Structure formats: structure tokens, C-alpha cells
């Protein structure tokens, strides 16, 4: 098979280490900034594995007339023109559920970091002001067990996040386009409308897919409905947040802070509004690493190998989305 990886993370060494049998196929690797190279050098591609942050549009699909599969390396696939792929009879798959534990761990880390002001605390230690920071924090930081955590969305990652928050004693509420009454007792969560959730939550955690309807969900109107001492957590997609709205809200004290693992655009560059030095002690930032643990990567390549065999043997594909 002619197999192409269009990815910022997959390399021949990494793929062969996880899927040794791919040595028997013709595999090629293109980084996300090598789009033109991909268009001219990968026309005979049969299986395409794409970075979850990658774009694969109509022109690119048409450049590969032998294409039998498009599969996201991650859970997201918003950059793939699924509608056009469907018109061409090309299946599109993702890696649903592979990173639910990994991402929810980082969501929990960001929640705890915001509540304890980790970011400023580290700076104060390096500045030789450990005791001063400790005195200033005395009796002020909150425990997660005394908080209400509001989840926007209730997919695999949100459900795992609910488990972790419940384990630490938090009250967990959620809102979602579809209410999951049958799961509410199992996950010890309460369903609320969006406005109710924003009004009641000490922490608002985003777990939504990016669609035209969800881009910039977190805008100035959204933030105005949150509690002034609440925190925003985003381990989902940067496109869900209006950068300028969040920046202004933090500067004006409309919310207490935010913990972010995802950004728009990526890579995060110095001119991004969220890197304003005045926000430094109100943000905890991680470099979009929530879902790339060793176990997650093992699961990703296992699914890639499985769907490759499914194509060869003409079996039902795993995690097909169209």
C-alpha cells in the first residue's frame, strides 16, 4: 500500500517503532507546512493519516485519485473536508477515545493550578519571594472539593474529567446539545442550561468539537455570564475561544483566570493577544501536550495499523465518521 503521513509529529522512526509491519509498505512523511510538496509527490497515496490539526481540502483530495482512506491521528478532524470525501466515496476515520485519560488529567492539572495560582507562585519562588507569596495566599486559595465544575460538552474526555473531579469532591454539572439522562447517575453529574452553568460554576471547562457553530463560543457575552472569581479551562480546541475577549476579560477582572492547553492560531507566537505580559499571573499555559502521552500514542498507532488491515481485508473500519 502507498501510505502517507501528513503530520507535525509522525516520522518514519516513530511509525516503524510502533507499527513494524509498515516497513512492508511504501510510506512517506510530510510535515504540515509541506502542503505543496504533498500535492506533487504523493499523488499515488492510498491511505492518508493526517495530524488532527491538519487541513485536507477538496484540492488535496482530488490530487490523490487512488485514495481509499483518510484518518485523523487524533480525535479531531475539523480540517478534513468530510462532505467532499463522502461525495467521492472515501471513508474518513478518527481516533475517538484514545486520549480521554491523558487530556482529562491535564484539565484537572489546570484546574488545580488556577485555584492555587501556580503560575505566579513559580515566578515568586524564582524571584526569592516564597514567604511573601505564602503569606499573601494564606486562607485565600480554594480546594477543588468546594467548587462547582461546569463541563461544556459531555463526550469521552468530559466524562473522564467528571470522574476525576468527583473523586476530589467537586460538584459537577454539564451542558450539552444532547442531554444524557441515562449517564447522569453513573457519572454523578447534573444537567443545566448554558446560562445556569455559567452562573453557578467556579470552573468552566470546555469539551466541545469545533464546528462553525462553536467557533468563538467563549466571547465577551459568554464571559459576562461567568462568576467573577471563576476560571476558564480549555483542553479542547483554541478556536472555541475569542482571544481578544478573553484577554480583555482577564485585564478587567471579569473572571479570575484561565488554564489553556490549546490556542488559535497554532503554533502560538509572541504576537498572540494571550501572551500579553500583563496576563502572566492570570494564565496557566501548556504547549498543547495534553493528548500525546506514551499510552495515547500507542493507541493511535494501534488503530492506524488496524484500519490499514481493515482496508486491505475489506473489513468494517474503526471509528468511521462519514
Burial of 248 (0-12, 13-18, 19+ CB in 10 A): middle
User: 3-state class of 204 per DSSP?
Assistant: strand
Q: Is 179 a catalytic residue?
A: no
Check 190, 266, 306, 320 and give the catalytic one.
266
Q: Is 237 a catalytic residue?
A: yes
How many beta carbons lie within 10 A of that of residue 57, not counting itself?
12
Check 159, 163, 207, 237 and give the catalytic one.
237
- Please give the full DSSP string across 82-149, using - where no structure is assigned: HHHHHHTT--EE--TTTTHHHHHHHHHHHHHHHHHTHHHHHHHHHTT-HHHHHHHHTTT---GGGSEE
113: nearest Cα among 201, 204, 250, 233: 233
Q: How far apart are CA 169 and CA 111, in angstroms?
A: 14
Written as nine digits, the cell of 306 is 488496524
User: 3-state class of 174 per DSSP?
Assistant: strand
User: 3-state class of 62 per DSSP?
Assistant: helix
The CA-CA-CA angle for residues 103, 243, 154, to 5°, reads: 35
Q: Is 266 a catalytic residue?
A: yes
In this structure, are residues 114 and 256 in contact, taking their beta carbons and an 8 Å threshold? yes
Cα 131 to the center of its chain, rounded Å? 36
Check 159, 163, 207, 288 and give the catalytic one.
288
Catalytic site positions = 237, 266, 288
Amino acid at each position: 500500500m502507498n501510505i502517507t503521513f501528513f503530520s507535525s509529529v509522525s516520522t518514519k522512526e516513530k511509525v516503524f517503532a510502533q507499527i513494524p509491519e509498515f516497513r512492508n509498505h511504501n510510506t512517506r512523511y510530510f510535515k504540515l507546512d509541506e502542503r505543496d510538496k504533498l500535492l506533487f509527490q504523493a499523488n499515488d497515496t492510498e491511505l492518508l493519516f493526517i495530524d488532527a490539526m491538519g487541513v485536507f481540502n477538496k484540492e488535496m483530495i482530488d490530487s490523490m485519485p487512488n485514495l481509499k482512506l483518510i484518518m485523523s491521528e487524533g480525535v479531531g478532524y475539523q480540517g478534513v473536508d468530510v462532505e467532499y470525501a463522502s461525495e467521492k466515496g472515501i471513508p474518513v476515520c478518527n481516533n475517538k477515545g484514545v486520549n480521554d485519560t491523558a487530556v482529562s488529567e491535564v484539565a484537572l492539572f489546570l484546574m488545580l493550578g488556577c485555584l492555587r495560582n501556580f503560575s505566579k507562585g513559580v515566578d515568586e519562588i524564582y524571584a526569592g519571594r516564597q514567604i511573601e507569596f505564602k503569606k499573601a495566599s494564606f486562607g485565600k486559595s480554594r480546594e477543588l472539593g468546594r467548587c462547582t465544575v461546569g463541563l461544556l460538552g459531555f463526550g469521552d474526555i468530559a466524562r473522564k474529567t467528571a470522574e476525576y473531579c468527583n473523586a476530589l469532591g467537586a460538584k459537577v454539572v454539564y451542558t450539552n446539545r444532547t442531554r444524557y439522562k441515562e449517564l447522569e447517575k453513573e457519572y454523578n453529574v447534573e444537567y443545566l442550561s448554558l446560562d445556569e452553568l455559567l452562573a453557578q460554576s467556579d470552573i468552566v471547562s470546555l469539551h466541545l468539537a469545533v464546528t462553525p457553530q462553536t467557533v468563538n463560543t467563549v466571547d465577551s457575552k459568554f464571559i459576562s455570564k461567568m462568576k467573577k472569581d471563576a476560571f476558564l479551562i480549555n483542553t479542547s480546541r483554541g478556536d472555541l475561544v475569542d482571544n481578544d475577549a478573553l484577554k480583555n476579560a482577564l485585564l478587567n477582572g471579569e473572571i479570575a483566570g484561565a488554564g489553556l492547553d490549546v490556542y488559535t492560531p497554532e503554533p502560538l507566537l509572541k504576537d498572540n493577544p494571550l501572551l500579553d505580559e500583563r496576563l502572566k499571573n492570570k494564565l496557566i499555559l501548556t504547549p498543547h501536550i495534553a493528548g500525546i502521552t506514551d499510552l495515547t500514542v500507542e493507541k493511535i498507532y494501534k488503530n492506524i495499523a488496524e484500519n490499514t488491515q481493515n482496508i486491505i481485508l475489506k473489513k468494517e473500519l474503526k471509528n468511521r465518521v462519514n
